[in-house]
Amino acid sequence: CKKDFITITPQGQFLSENYYSNRDQAYTGLVGVYDVLRKNAGGFENMITFFNAASDDNYSGGGNSSDGAGIQSFANFTINPNLVPGSYWNDHYQGIFRANVLLSKIGAVNMNAAEKARFTAEAKALRAIYYFNLVRMFKNIPLLLEPVSANDIYNVTQAAPTAVYTQIEKDLSEAIPDLPNTVVLATEAGRLTKAAGQAMLGKVYLYDGKAAQAATQLALVNGPTPGQPNQYGNKLLANFADLWVFTNKFNSESILECVHTNQSNADWGFWGSSADEGNSVNQMVGPRSFAPTATYNGPDIYRAGWSFNTWTQDFYDAIKADPRFPSTVFDAKAYVAAGMATYIDGYMNTGYFIKKFLPLRSDQRTGGGTLELNFQQNDYIIRLADTYLLEAEALGATGTRAQALLDAVRARVGLTPVPVSLAAIKAERRLELAGEGHRFFDLVRWGDAAAKLGGRGFVAGKNEILPIPARELIGTKLTQNPNYQK
Amino acid sequence: QNRTITGKVLDDSNAPVAGASVTVKGATAGTTTNDRGEFRIQVAPSATALVISSVGFVSREVSITNLGADNNVSVSLAKSVSALDEVVVVGYGTTKKSILTGSVASVRAKDLENVPNGRIEQALQGRASGVTIMQNSGQPGSASTIRVRGITTFNNNNPLWVVDNVVVDAGGIGYLNQSDIESIEVLKDASASIYGTRAAGGVILVTTKKGRSGKLSVSYNGFYGTSAPARMLELLNATQYATLINERSIAGGGGIVYNDISTLGVGTDWQKAIFNNNASRYLHEVSLSGGTDKSTFYVSAGIQKQNGIVSTEISKYEKKNIRLASTHKIGNYVTFGQTIGYTYQKSIGLGNTNSEFGGPLSSAINLDPITPIVVTDPSVAATPLYANNPSAIRDANGNPYGISLAVGQEMTNPVAYIQTRLGGYNWSDDFVGNAYLEVAPVKGLKIRTSVGVKKAYWGNVGFTPVFFLSPTVQQAQNSYNRGENRTFNWNVENTITYNRKFGDHDVTVLAGQGAYVENIGASTGMTYLNLPITSYKDASFNFDLPLANKQGYASDMTQHKVSSLFGRLNYAFQDKYLLTGIIRQDGSTRFGPNKKYSVFPSVSAGWNVDKEKFFPVNKVVSQLKLRGGYGTSGNDASDDFRYLSTVVGGYNYSIGNGGTVTTGYSPLTLDNKDLRWEKTATTDIGLDAQLFNNFNLTVNWFNKKTTGILRPILIPGYVGVSASPWANVADMENKGLEIELGYRKRAGDLNISINGNVTFIKNKVLYVAADTNFIVGGAGFQSMGTITRIKVGESYNSFFGFQRLGVFQTQADIDNYKNKAGTPIQPNARPGDFMWADINGDGVITNDDKDKTFLGSNLPKYTFGFTVNLEYKGFDMTAFFQGAGGNKIFQGLRRLDIANSNFTTKALSRWTGPGTSNDYPRLVSNDPNNNFAWMSDFYLEDGDYLRLKVFQLGYTLPAKLLNKTGISKVRFYVTAENLFTLTKYTGYDPEVGGGVFGVDRGQYPQARAILGGLQLQF
């Protein structure tokens, strides 16, 4: 009785204690978990431009050598605990926190059991995806599966990377049965499907050194006959260039994509935050001050950007003769040479820009918000060509199925088969997935990073992973990653 | 057979002693004397003696066994010179000061009755050691900031107010009338633990006047007077201003701004335009008191009005109040008592005081003196600025008020500004009452139940016309706003007290229970837009407007509840060895489910050394008591629900192929179920002594340490929340020394009384977080950012900025200011710029924390007050001085980001060449060396002051003149308030109160007032 007297419940606001009481509230919680997928291409500190910058295909770029201390220092491997942008750590942990909250609450939510199972599966799969990013980036990370209580904040320790992988695989495995085969595009596009779960699980297994399990999962996504639709109807787009048409969202090749819209009225004030839904890669990779010349009277297609992630000459040379070249590389130098446009040389300018994400006049937003922050092109977190090549790799790059998978990727762009081998798969991945943020992780997975990036300053045994942000070590029980201590 | 004894109590000069307590020896029931010193009491046949006591007199026992047939007794009381004989209120009871073990400051009605204060906090200022009071504003009716023994927490430091045993919410004390107050006690140490919950900021106990049995007594007090500003700033006149602006512009590479300086003269004195040298003020109070030995009553009523000295049309205050208190004896064992009061307050405020962003004061200080108050030149009035803006404010003759284009942004013509705020005011209706029932069935036992309630309504009304004050400050549509709030607070307390003497042992036990509920209430408001009127006089909510022009808003308040159990044990052996133990358990709605309850114990002891046999009879020390104690108290004056996390939207994602944004929700932060009270532990060691018969000395040393101060904590990112949760983190201590010294002497017809007190306090932050030893402070200034810092080892919110080493006089000075490598530290400086200290010694001056250092504290190191009272025959004189020192004030009166803001005349002593100034830098428009732009000790001034707060002369007509009139007392007096203030501070007023951390952005100064008054007693 006395306890009741001094206990009151707040009115007119939602509390973590009493929110998530019905289906709609649970759904808003789930959307909050999805929010962090935006990290792939949203905000200045996005996954794509950051990891492109530290590959042998791209430079950091930007306006000058100090345009983004994080991305610049990562590109030349001078990155340290103070320079690494904390958001790569924090944002993913925010997604994990929201998943943990939802998972801890959803049991008591009064809602349809099947939908509850689906929400649960999505929360677990998203948590797995965020942990996968974290473990790939930072390796030695705390593994939290429920919200940390205020008392335990400073008692958290890092988990063994194997334990993290085990949990990721467990979450995805548990999620897959309850994820839908397909989603209703009008109302559900962007949400996870079985294929997304299986593709991610296969990819995780491959990173975890479980090649056989990886091949099994990826085969479920890739279908029995490479090049033919899988059980869910996914198939490679006939035309590679169509992958980069910003209106061609949720196409048949897309397994999981990061959704962007021009309707969030994104503004500088909340750029990169949870309420910003624009694609920032578009703006970042455009040539600086790019503008048609006074005499040019052709179509005005491209907007200016900030000249990040210029292609290296090495990459240009590798893809020059490939059919994917025109969709991959934008040769601004050629525009200038032809008197069609001018632009300002940014930092590490090569004149070659990522065509896949170039900011387009046709994608300019017409509603509210800042022009630069409201591009709506989606980007692929994983797409079918990627899973084909991952499965071929998981199969040890040998055998008829591996050959068929490689052939299918090449055939789509009109290339003739080459004998399957790990070298062939690596070469294919580089050209097929160029500029999509995968290359750095691929090099590290293959053990090729030191060889390919040594010239940039990459130190083996150190730069395979990022330093843990300095803030995370202050007052906590976390230890810094090897060779980043000083 | 009971008998009735009548009598009269007189003092040693044969004047009647009113309000003296008369009890039968060995019983608790009794009566008090009326204003003629008379009493009437019924005594049992067994009664042998009466005990007569009164504050300020030595108690006396009078035998009643040998009285005459008339049963009449005349008692003469000797005036006590010892404060130790006083009775003090200690919460749920009273005790004699001589056996008090705690540290309690006390102020009596007698000390206050001659002081014409507006609010009771001000009555305490300078009168109680350990209590620092700073007036927030000179705006009539405004509250003061009260700190009992320093700053206890980073959060709410307000003390707990308890009026007649009823806890009253802090801040809502303005309803009380000073003349209704019998006494004010401040519990400063372990003794406050009896109010454990909310006592960490100190407890202020207010006892109001009650009726006295006997003949009806009527008294009147009234005064009338006027106020004027005590001090004006010395600002540049038009000629000086134009000269400096030109100099500044040219130095920065610009052109001449003002060509015809010789024609400008002195220009506009904006201060004169808004200050009022004749702001009126009056007060009338009447009280009636009377009753029988069964029932007494006290009723009072008052009215006061006060006009402010700044922009008087929009700076006014008035208060009306009525109060009734009564006590009734029901049978032999039961007493019932009640008080009920109603107060109406209405105030009109300037708005934007102590703000650098506009408002009359800031504008008057910053506006250029060239712009006229009113444009009388028709050719100027025809310019587009006035002609194209029909809503530019005009005077009665239709001339537009001048608009400055030199000084823009929020600065506006203050006279025109007044016109835009007319018709607005705040009001409140407060009903506060309490009732108690006390049963005393057997000797020594009292059972008491009390109920307190407060019903409050308050609100505001405001009309904003269409106006054009400047190109940046304008209003395109008018609006009329009314906001109303109401709350209901109640509390119930039940106590049992038992007192018994066993031989030499005197034991008093108190046990009690309380329940407190605040903020049962709600707010609603309405704004009408675009009313078809132009003047506030026509504003009404009766206009029929389209729905879109009616904006309503409402909110519900969050209740705050506390549930308590408490007890106290007082033990005295031969009145020589004293022991007090207190324990209180409180539960509060404001804390996490795991920490709802907390226990606050305290123990204190005293030793009356002079009662020992070995204590020699001497002429130096006649009384001596040593005492000490330790106790804890808490603070729950934090926001509600800090232990809970809200779930908020904005964690969005776009789901579906339509591109729409889907709102996602997430908890904003973490719950903290362990959120608990901040705990304040006080150690107090003190002594009370009577010296040379006429001196009373009290000395207290204290150490007050607060642990677990609530603050939002910076947490590692892996926690995964986007906002910081609140937790009990920081620690802070206040150590101090309080000295009170009183002197009282009667020499023939001359009565002298001098009382002084001084308090020294040192505040130190002990801990702020696990991961850092500082957090950014609470005060910012314009574009400087934060100018204070909370750092371990420093005083709370100390000023933090660059330190000057002087002004570079020559290029050689700049070249010679070298680092270890031999290169100049400030290569880009020019003669006339500040030489900045290279705090971190890295050889360069950088605009970050590395070259900033601690520059002083806004907290006074010491505060003091002293009062001199002289009485000679019918004449009396009171002089009350008060002051503080050791603190720094940030003199932030000038708007830095407005290039052409006016300067004070200090700028005339700027650097203009070698040897001209080593303190005030050169004037240059872009300020490349950041002489003005950076927070530095350039802005800090000593806040020391000594103020003659009250000076009063009075004359009381001789009693024999009044003999036949029925009037018992007539006194005339003249009072001067704030007659002078000695300070080196260059702003208006060194008393910079409120939560401003000593930053003066244009504080409303206190007025100098001269009042004439009359007191009557019938």
For A52, A287, B157, B338, B1006, the CA distances from B981, given in Å and listed in that order, are: 69, 67, 27, 43, 11
Whether residue A31 and residue B596 make contact (CB cut-off 8 A), yes or no, is no
Show residues of chain A in contact with B657, CB under 8 Å.
185-186, 189, 249-250
Closest CA to B810 of B913, B923, B938: B913
Look up residue A53 and give its two tokens: 């910058």
Give the number of other Cβ atoms within 10 Å of residue A333's Cβ: 15
Q: Give yes or no for a contact between B602 and B577, defined as CB atoms under 8 angstroms apart.
A: no
Choose from A102, A252, A261, A279 for mutation: most chain B CBs within 10 A.
Answer: A261
Helix (H) or strand (E) holding B384: helix B384-387
* pLDDT range class, residue B897, cuts 50, 70, 90: confident
Show residues of chain A in contact with B656, CB under 8 Å.
185-190
Helix axes A422-432, A384-394, angle to 10 degrees: 160
CA dist B459 and B425 (Å) reads 9
Smallest Cβ–Cβ distance between A98 and the set B562, B651, B663 belongs to: B651
Closest CA to A309 of A384, A361, A359: A359
Q: Does B554 touch chain A (CB under 8 A)?
A: no
Q: Give yes or no for a contact between B604 and B580, defined as CB atoms under 8 angstroms apart.
A: yes
Smallest Cβ–Cβ distance between A15 and the set B647, B664, B715 belongs to: B647
pLDDT tens, B925-957?
Answer: 888 999 999 999 999 999 999 999 999 999 999
CA dist B818 and A359 (Å) reads 51
Whether residue B673 and residue A142 make contact (CB cut-off 8 A), yes or no, is no
CA dist A420 and A403 (Å) reads 5
Give the number of other Cβ atoms within 10 Å of residue A228's Cβ: 11
pLDDT tens, A95-105?
Answer: 999 999 999 99
> From the centroid of its chain, how far is CA B833?
41
Look up residue B830 and give its two tokens: 């020019």
Show residues of chain B in contact with A478, CB under 8 Å.
716, 718
Burial class (CB in 10 A: 0-12, 13-18, 19+), B537: exposed
Smallest Cβ–Cβ distance between B556 and the set A11, A277, A474 belongs to: A11
Give every CB contact of residue A184 below 8 A, 6+ residues apart in sequence.
Answer: none
* pLDDT range class, residue B80, cuts 50, 70, 90: low
Helix axes A113-138, A23-34, angle to 10 degrees: 20
Instruction: List beta partners, residue B788.
Output: B799
pLDDT at site B84 = 54
Whether residue A275 and residue B650 make contact (CB cut-off 8 A), yes or no, is yes
Give every CB contact of residue B158 below 8 A, 6+ residues apart in sequence.
Answer: B146, B170, B171, B201, B637
* N-term to C-term CA, chain A: 58
Closest CA to B865 of B738, B736, B707: B738
What stretches of A298-364 adopt beta strand conformation (E)?
Answer: 329-331, 341-344, 352-354
Q: Does residue A1 carry a pLDDT above 50?
A: no
Cα angle value B777/B780/B781 (rounded, 5°): 150
Q: Does A144 touch chain B (CB under 8 A)?
A: yes
Torsion sign, CA atoms A48, A51, A52, A57: negative
Torsion sign, CA atoms B81, B83, B89, B95: negative
Q: Give yes or no for a contact between A225 and A209, defined as CB atoms under 8 angstroms apart.
A: no
Instruction: Residue window 493-552, chain B: list those with CB within 8 Å of chain A.
Output: 515
pLDDT tens, B868-889?
Answer: 999 998 899 999 999 999 999 9
Mean pLDDT of chain B: 89
Q: Does residue B13 carry a pLDDT above 80?
A: no
Q: Does A189 touch chain B (CB under 8 A)?
A: yes
Show residues of chain A in contact with B661, CB under 8 Å.
261, 263-264, 277
* pLDDT range class, residue B636, cuts 50, 70, 90: confident
Q: Does residue B961 carry a pLDDT above 90?
A: no
Q: Does residue B110 carry a pLDDT above 80?
A: no
pLDDT tens, B390-414?
Answer: 999 999 999 999 999 888 888 999 9
Q: How many residue pairs from chains A and B have C-beta atoms closer than 8 A?
A: 208
pLDDT tens, B259-297?
Answer: 989 899 999 999 999 999 999 999 999 999 988 888 999
Beta-strand pair B445-464/B479-502: antiparallel
Whether residue A187 and residue B655 make contact (CB cut-off 8 A), yes or no, is yes
Q: Give yes or no for a contact between B677 and B708, defined as CB atoms under 8 angstroms apart.
A: yes
Give the gap in angstroms from C-alpha B680 to the nearest C-alpha of chain A.
22
Q: Does B655 touch chain A (CB under 8 A)?
A: yes
CA dist B190 and B629 (Å) reads 6
Q: Does B667 touch chain A (CB under 8 A)?
A: yes
Torsion sign, CA atoms B938, B939, B940, B943: positive
Which structural domains are found in chain B, ordered by start?
A: 3-80 (2.60.40.1120), 85-210 (2.170.130.10)
Q: Does residue B902 carry a pLDDT above 90?
A: yes
Q: Does residue B513 carry a pLDDT above 70?
A: yes
Whether residue B671 and residue A16 make contact (CB cut-off 8 A), yes or no, is yes
Give the gap in angstroms from C-alpha B154 to the nearest C-alpha of chain A.
20
* pLDDT range class, residue A133, cuts 50, 70, 90: very high
CA dist A76 and A65 (Å) reads 11
What stretches of B212-315 adopt beta strand conformation (E)?
Answer: 214-229, 279-291, 295-307
pLDDT: is B959 or A137 the higher one?
A137
pLDDT tens, B705-745?
Answer: 999 999 988 889 999 998 888 889 899 999 999 999 999 88
What percent of chain B is predicted at pLDDT more than 70? Answer: 98
* Average pLDDT of span B596-608: 93
Give the gap in angstroms from C-alpha B238 to the nearest C-alpha of chain A.
43
CA dist B140 and B977 (Å) reads 14
pLDDT at site B418 = 93
Nearest CA in chain A to B564: A2
pLDDT at site B392 = 93
Q: Does A187 touch chain B (CB under 8 A)?
A: yes
pLDDT at site B958 = 86
Whether residue A15 and residue B666 make contact (CB cut-off 8 A), yes or no, is no
Cα angle value B950/B955/B961 (rounded, 5°): 160
Give the gap in angstroms from C-alpha B652 to the nearest C-alpha of chain A.
5
B196, amino acid identity: G
CA dist A283 and A72 (Å) reads 17
CA dist B571 and B557 (Å) reads 44
pLDDT: is B18 or B223 the higher one?
B223
pLDDT tens, B314-335?
Answer: 999 999 999 999 999 998 899 9
For B147, B892, B898, the CA distances from B832, given in Å and listed in that order, are: 42, 22, 21
Instruction: List beta partners, residue A198.
Output: none
Cα angle value B9/B11/B14 (rounded, 5°): 90
Whether residue A274 and residue B651 make contact (CB cut-off 8 A), yes or no, is yes
Smallest Cβ–Cβ distance between A89 and the set B640, B671, B717 belongs to: B717
Instruction: Residue window 435-464, chain A: list those with CB within 8 Å of chain B.
Output: none
Give the gap in angstroms from C-alpha B123 to the nearest C-alpha of chain A.
35
pLDDT: is B12 or B725 the higher one?
B725
Give every CB contact of residue A455 below 8 A, 6+ residues apart in sequence.
Answer: none
Look up residue B381 and give its two tokens: 């009035």
Reduce the DSSP state of residue B573 to 3 states and report it. Answer: strand
pLDDT at site B49 = 85
pLDDT at site B632 = 92
Give the gap in angstroms from C-alpha A91 to the nearest C-alpha of chain B.
8
Show residues of chain B in contact with A98, CB under 8 Å.
651, 664, 666, 720
Whether residue A19 and residue B665 make contact (CB cut-off 8 A), yes or no, is yes
pLDDT at site B459 = 95
Instruction: Residue window 381-420, chain A: list those with CB within 8 Å of chain B.
Output: none
Q: Does residue B849 carry a pLDDT above 80?
A: yes
Q: Does residue B995 carry a pLDDT above 80?
A: no
B937, amino acid identity: D
The DSSP letter of residue B904 is B
Q: In B790-864, which ranges are continuous DSSP H helix? A: 811-816
Instruction: List beta partners, residue B646.
Output: A15
Smallest Cβ–Cβ distance between B644 and the set A15, A96, A156 belongs to: A15
Q: Does B654 touch chain A (CB under 8 A)?
A: yes
Lowest-confidence range among A172-181, B797-806, B949-958, B963-972? Answer: B963-972
Neighbour order of strands in the sheet with B166-168 = B104-108, B181-187, B203-208, B160-163, B166-168
Half-sphere exposure in the Cβ direction for A323 (13 Å, CA):
12
pLDDT: is A409 or B673 the higher one?
A409
Helix axes A194-207, A113-138, angle to 10 degrees: 30
Q: Does residue B81 carry a pLDDT above 70?
A: no
Burial class (CB in 10 A: 0-12, 13-18, 19+), B544: exposed
Neighbour order of strands in the sheet with B3-11 = B38-43, B3-11, B72-77
Instruction: Residue window 263-292, chain A: list those with CB within 8 Å of chain B.
Output: 263-264, 274-275, 277
Whether residue B645 and residue A15 make contact (CB cut-off 8 A), yes or no, is yes
For A143, B615, B763, B880, B945, the CA distances from B886, given in Å and listed in that order, are: 53, 40, 12, 21, 9
pLDDT tens, B446-475?
Answer: 999 999 999 999 999 999 999 999 888 888
Whether residue A189 and residue B655 make contact (CB cut-off 8 A), yes or no, is yes
* Average pLDDT of span A34-59: 97
CA dist B747 and B626 (Å) reads 31
ipTM reported for the complex, 2 dp: 0.95
Torsion sign, CA atoms B381, B382, B383, B387: positive
Nearest CA in chain A to B658: A186
Q: Does A94 touch chain B (CB under 8 A)?
A: yes
Choose from B595, B654, B722, B729 for mutation: most chain A CBs within 10 A.
Answer: B654
pLDDT: is B692 or A16 the higher one?
B692
Q: Does residue A447 carry a pLDDT above 90?
A: yes
Q: Can you give A193-224 as a three-state secondary structure string?
A: CHHHHHHHHHHHHHHCCCHHHHHHHHHHHHCC
What percent of chain B is predicted at pLDDT more than 90? Answer: 57
Whether residue B648 and residue A190 make contact (CB cut-off 8 A), yes or no, is no
pLDDT at site A421 = 97
Burial class (CB in 10 A: 0-12, 13-18, 19+), B324: middle
- DSSP string for B704-750: EEEEEEEEEPP--GGG--SSPPEEEEEEEEEEEEEEEEEEEEEETTE
Whether residue B666 and residue A97 make contact (CB cut-off 8 A), yes or no, is yes
* pLDDT range class, residue B197, cuts 50, 70, 90: confident
Q: Does A248 touch chain B (CB under 8 A)?
A: no
Give the gap in angstroms from C-alpha A324 to the nearest C-alpha of chain B.
27
Q: Does residue B117 carry a pLDDT above 80?
A: no
Q: What are phi and psi of B465, to 5 degrees?
A: -80, 170
Closest CA to B179 of B94, B280, B298, B91: B298
Helix (H) or strand (E) holding B278: none
